[in-house]
Amino acid sequence: MSNALYTATSTATGGRQGHVKSSDGILDLELTVPKGLGGRGEAGKTNPEQLFSAGYSACFDSALQLVAGQAKKKIDSTVTADVSIAKAGEGFGLAVELKVEIEGVTQEEAEDLVEKAHQICPYSRAIEGNVEVKKTAIAK
């Protein structure tokens, strides 16, 4: 992408039972295969689905804050991303459930903000048409 505003670089070795480290050293994690995938699920270690879940929830919340600001709405929000992996044909596929709690708006406004955030969130746009994403907006 020639107009990139930021590029994150990480290197993994050893696959799901290995190690991942960002180029700046801030992210430096041991990986484990979750028990649900037949692994040991070792304490203190993470996996790609957890990392994707963390990134997606943070990015979506930022997109939500942006669209709320554009709509002149002052909100407090929490985004939880459940990322699931399952067999899909000969390989594997992902599914995501976003649970978005928003304080300061009606239920209708919450649903509208979530849809608008989904349209601009880079994670949502990147997986569009490839990953099932269920969105639940909850006004508080």
Give me the DSSP letters along 77-112: EEEEEEEEEEEETTEEEEEEEEEEEEESS-HHHHHH
Which domains does the chain carry? 1-46 (2.20.25.10), 48-139 (3.30.300.20)
pTM value > 0.85:
yes
What pLDDT sits at residue 21? 98
What pLDDT sits at residue 1? 66
Q: Amino acid identity, residue 36?
A: G
Q: pLDDT category, 17, cuts 50, 70, 90?
A: very high
CA angle 50, 92, 81 (to 5 degrees): 30
What pLDDT sits at residue 2? 78
Phi, psi for 68 (deg, rounded to 5): -65, -40
pLDDT tens-digit series, residues 87-130: 889 999 999 999 999 999 999 999 999 999 999 999 999 999 99
Collapse the DSSP code of 127 into the 3-class scheme (helix H, G, I; strand E, B; otherwise coil) and give the result: helix
